[in-house]
Structure 1
Amino acid sequence: MVGPTRFRLLGEEADLADHGWDDPELPKLWRYNQHYFDDLNAHDAVGRSEWHAALIARWIPDNPPPRGSGWEPYPTSLRIVNWIKFALSGNDLSGAVRQSLAVQTRWLRKRLEWHLLGNHLFANAKALVFSGLFFSGEEAAGWLHTGAHILLKQMPEQILADGAQFELSPMYHALALEDLLDLLNLTRAFGRDDLAEEFASRIPAMLEWLLAMSHPDGEVAFFNDTAVGIAPDNIELFRYAHDLGFAIEPPFAGITYLVESGYVRMACEAAIVIADLARIGPDYLPGHAHADTLSFEFTLDGNRFIVNSGTSVYGTGVERQRQRGTAAHSSLVIDGENSSEVWSGFRVGRRAKPFDVAVSGEETSFTAHGAHDGYTHLPGSPVHRREWRLSEGQLFVEDAVEGSGLHQLEAYFHLGPGISAVANTADGVVELSDIKTGRQAVFAAKGGLVEVIPSSWHPEFGKRVDTKAIRVSAYQSLPHTLQYELSWSAL
């Protein structure tokens, strides 16, 4: 909140006085956020507590049940949790507010999102646990029982053995980690040690996964639907976990293979590669998936050198479709097709399935390899194989495309913000420079035409940063191999 009735959400400001709670001129996701009440527990929230109390009091008569976006199950779930956190932080709730909370919980209990499952159902169940402990009596005990039962059934499915949230989005993983930290905090505070132990058992692996999937800048890598500014940032989550008694250990140097989720992290001196050898997510829940199989991000000296382009919009528009497509990621496109058939805003048809995944390495030389079948529906049944080799001062990447027939191959390497690029197309070399650190690097390619093209990076919802990308293209008979080498010297 930037004023008593004014919000800055998803990079866009609007005032309640001008738009109300459900103005169709504003995007649906923006309106959802307006009903979440996240600011009750945001940075420096204590200084805005009078605004918050007045906003809660206003929401109740302005949003009679069951009208509008605010009464849909997901925003209702988040609002219930935020109002109860507000109360447990020392703020008084009037009788009318408590009555509204009870009404909202009764409404939610009858509308759990079993049809969506995933993070939506998890949020529903979390809200029931919060209300079930906050209130007393037989009805509250029923809410607690239902919510806890759902969570205990869903955790083994939604939290993989390597700690990943099963939708394989680092952003949604961070949100799920916050959920479990909240649930642990709450159940300990209310003396439900039985539940607290269950929630606590999942958290160490989730912390390790988040660390492995983050860059030295302290933010997550951009795979599937991921942006910063939606989940709490890493430093807040690690502080929260530390306060609840968990040790925070930095990721190991060398190679880390997150087997169940399918990601690989390689770290050698100043360089880090995070590579996607994963499936797109659960077969029945691909809504937050991108066509990003065999993409990767690369950090040098703590800065993002090669990136995926991120997520700045939801909905069903052209830009949403583009950001989910393979060409918006540092991967290989064949015949202009996406590796997985992303469509509409949250749908996937044909899906790329990775196979032949292998990792190896020791001391200062590491290798990861994988293939996928996302292009085998094309004539000649192309199969994309990619290998990364990271060593001191060098990253070598190879795309081997098996199959037959003539095909257009386009490999994209999206450059991070602040990375300048000058191409010498005659010899297939691009000179790179990090404006922030002064680091110089050279990109060279074999087997295709090298170009530097305009690109964009989307680190937050509602935000676009103009950048550059290297594209290596070839129109060749298969099989064909493209090779790329990024090299740098010590500062």
Structure 2
Amino acid sequence: MSLQKISRLVHTVRYLTFRQVAYRLYYRFVRVGLGQFRDITARSWVERWDAPAWSRLSTDDGVGFTFLGVRGGVRDAADWHSGQHSKLWLYNLHYLDDLNAIDIDKTPGLADTLIQNWSHANPPVVGNGWEPYPLSLRIVNLVKWHSRSDSRADVMLGSLASQTDALAQQVEYHILGNHLFANGKALVFAGTYLSGVQADAWLAKGLQILDEEVREQFLQDGGHFELSPMYHATLLWDMCDLVNLARRAQLPALMKRLPVWEPVVARGMAWLRSMLHLDGKISFFNDAAFGIAPDFEHIQGYAALLGIPDAAGDVLPSAFLNTATGYAVVTPSAGVKAILDLAQVGPDYQPGHAHADTLSFELSVFGQRLVVNSGTSQYGEGPERQRQRSTGAHSTVEVAGQNSSEVWAGFRVARRARPSIERFDLAEKFICIQASHDGYRRLQGSPRHQRTWTFADDGLEVVDQLTCNQSVAVSRIYIHPDVTFLPEANGFVADMGEGKKVVVSMQGADQVRIVGSTWHPEFGCSVTNQCIEAVFSSCSLTTHIRWS
């Protein structure tokens, strides 16, 4: 192993907790052994499960499935583990999300077919479906479906109990983050639905996990600590599910936690709304894409059914900082919104969904997305996954061809950029926000990147400064695919329709050009777009974006 790889590994491992390391070693030697659950029964709830659905069916026959934009067939047991598909595709297959998808009740027999096919093809405890994360999502889906359908057949309850037993023995303490949260939620759902001593133990264990993780993972400004709008939406839906479960089961252990869970949902909705573009969809910071998590309007509707107050009518300042997560939100005039990434890479011990996107920004003008980050279309460890996590795939500055944070493999980060907010001024006619980061300190001269955004009613000035000029830097502004810029005498101009125009110009660059690129709004999706790329070897670059 080269010294560079050793250094990268050391700078990655140093952030892990003792718990992660200990459980990683523990799970190498311990094997899952299932108990017997012949006499398992279901508890009586005050009300059966009922909740809004947001996801679409992936299949109409239980044979052909579409996940992540990829079609596949599942005709025999081997297909549940086929090497023809990515790990994430197979995980989606094993989640059985269709049990609670839109229109599942309009397709008679499909739910039973899915459950039976999975059970016959996946004996304990072999294959993708018995890994803790797909176990967690499937257990919740099964509990919801069993409760809604009043399906209490002993064989089905026994299978649910076996799956919960397998999960309880391999809780993801070695990963933590949203995985551990999903484990805790599944144990609570199963322990609430099933009855008996073992079910009580699962419920207690799940609640213990959630008591710790809700407090740690949802920060004071409402945002989830993995700093991904997509994962935030996923866990916010999970929180709504937990509130709903407590209301329907009426178990005292759940009811006593409502005063904690309900405010988390309320604050989480306010944070997520701040991270939306004017089209109502999430911004792309860190791992983020459409279609993986419920949209804000789905979560808003769910919370409304639960009677959780929404801060939709609150009057917000024209610029504010989500202080715990580090995202600034600026709305200098009607139809204009910018979101600035001033955030740390986080959490320290689990940055698997982080991108090297420090000091990037996204911008909507005239109600349309204009400046974007490149999004996420795949996981895994391939070169495209690495490119999409890189600094060069975001609307920020890359120095000497390096990433601001050392993202590597599919979900690893070694040395991380540490941003500092230096100025946050709201004046009568302008808004000025300045921040810098030290992510390039490992390079010759230890350059520091400082970026200053100055907003007016009709434009934005972005000043990028480096503390040393020993490296060539590249500023990139990625453009939404619906917008096309053309060269003009003083820069580049885009016709936004109805007589509206946006002009981009740069001073201090050695070279400015438009290059072809791709935007990735969904997994498995790549859309052609433009990138305005400015190369500069001096210490300063000024970018003007004007709209009129």
TM range (shorter): over 0.9
Match of 2:502 among 425, 428, 441: 441
Moved more, 179-188 or 83-92: 83-92
Q: Are 1:197 and 2:262 matched, yes or no? A: no
Task: State whether residues 132 and 140 of structure 1, in contact with CA within 8 Å, keep that contact through their aligned partners in structure 2.
Answer: yes
**Within 1, Cα distance between the matches of 2:461 and 2:508?**
14
Structure 2 counterparts to residues 400-479 of structure 1, below 5 A: 400-403=465-468, 405-424=469-488, 429-434=491-496, 439-448=500-509, 449-476=511-538
Structure 2 counterparts to residues 56-455 of structure 1, below 5 A: 56-191=115-250, 192-250=254-312, 252=316, 254-268=318-332, 269-362=334-427, 365-403=430-468, 405-424=469-488, 429-434=491-496, 439-448=500-509, 449-455=511-517
- Residue 387 of structure 1 and its aligned partner are, at CA, apart by 1.0
Residue 59 (structure 2) aligns with: 2
- Residue 253 of structure 1 and its aligned partner are, at CA, apart by 5.2
The alignment's TM-score, normalised by the length of structure 1, stands at 0.95
**Within 2, Cα distance between the matches of 1:460 and 1:377?**
34
- Residue 263 of structure 1 and its aligned partner are, at CA, apart by 0.4
- Residue segments in structure 1 that go unaligned for 5+ positions in a row: none
Task: State whether residues 57 and 97 of structure 1, in contact with CA within 8 Å, keep that contact through their aligned partners in structure 2.
Answer: no
**Within 2, Cα distance between the matches of 1:231 and 1:452?**
33
- Residue 363 of structure 1 and its aligned partner are, at CA, apart by 5.2
CA RMSD of aligned residues (A): 1.5
Residues 246 and 362 (structure 1 numbering): CA distance in 2 closer, same or farther, change over 3 Å?
A: farther
Moved more, 74-83 or 233-242: 233-242
**Within 1, Cα distance between the matches of 2:206 and 2:423?**
40
Moved more, 178-187 or 83-92: 83-92
For 1:366, give the aligned amino acid: I
- Residue 25 of structure 1 and its aligned partner are, at CA, apart by 1.2
Residue 13 (structure 1) aligns with: 71
Q: Tell me the SS of whatever aligns to 1:89.
A: helix
Q: Tell me the SS of whatever aligns to 1:21.
A: helix
Task: State whether residues 418 and 434 of structure 1, in contact with CA within 8 Å, keep that contact through their aligned partners in structure 2.
Answer: no
- Residue 43 of structure 1 and its aligned partner are, at CA, apart by 2.0
**Within 1, Cα distance between the matches of 2:150 and 2:507?**
64
Percent identical across equivalent pairs? 41
**Within 2, Cα distance between the matches of 1:390 and 1:271?**
10
- Bigger relative contact order, structure 1 or 2, given CA contacts below 8 A and separation 6+? 2
Residues 189 and 329 (structure 1 numbering): CA distance in 2 closer, same or farther, change over 3 Å?
A: same
For 2:88, give the aligned amino acid: L
Residues 274 and 49 (structure 1 numbering): CA distance in 2 closer, same or farther, change over 3 Å?
A: farther
Task: State whether residues 332 and 409 of structure 1, in contact with CA within 8 Å, keep that contact through their aligned partners in structure 2.
Answer: yes
Residues 231 and 376 (structure 1 numbering): CA distance in 2 closer, same or farther, change over 3 Å?
A: same
Task: State whether residues 304 and 417 of structure 1, in contact with CA within 8 Å, keep that contact through their aligned partners in structure 2.
Answer: no
Residues 180 and 363 (structure 1 numbering): CA distance in 2 closer, same or farther, change over 3 Å?
A: farther
Q: Tell me the SS of whatever aligns to 1:419.
A: coil
- Residue segments in structure 2 that go unaligned for 5+ positions in a row: 1-57
- Residue 380 of structure 1 and its aligned partner are, at CA, apart by 1.2
The structure whose residues are more often strand, as a share, is 1
Task: State whether residues 163 and 206 of structure 1, in contact with CA within 8 Å, keep that contact through their aligned partners in structure 2.
Answer: yes
- Residue 356 of structure 1 and its aligned partner are, at CA, apart by 3.4
Q: Tell me the SS of whatever aligns to 1:20.
A: helix
**Within 2, Cα distance between the matches of 1:249 and 1:391?**
27
Residue 41 (structure 1) aligns with: 100
Residues 93 and 464 (structure 1 numbering): CA distance in 2 closer, same or farther, change over 3 Å?
A: farther
**Within 2, Cα distance between the matches of 1:95 and 1:267?**
57
- Residue 158 of structure 1 and its aligned partner are, at CA, apart by 0.7
Residues 222 and 205 (structure 1 numbering): CA distance in 2 closer, same or farther, change over 3 Å?
A: same
**Within 2, Cα distance between the matches of 1:362 and 1:13?**
53
- Residue 338 of structure 1 and its aligned partner are, at CA, apart by 0.6
**Within 1, Cα distance between the matches of 2:490 and 2:352?**
38
Task: Tell me how many residue pairs correspond in the alignment.
Answer: 482
**Within 2, Cα distance between the matches of 1:94 and 1:389?**
64
Task: State whether residues 170 and 220 of structure 1, in contact with CA within 8 Å, keep that contact through their aligned partners in structure 2.
Answer: yes
- Residue 439 of structure 1 and its aligned partner are, at CA, apart by 3.0
Task: State whether residues 432 and 442 of structure 1, in contact with CA within 8 Å, keep that contact through their aligned partners in structure 2.
Answer: yes
**Within 1, Cα distance between the matches of 2:279 and 2:455?**
20
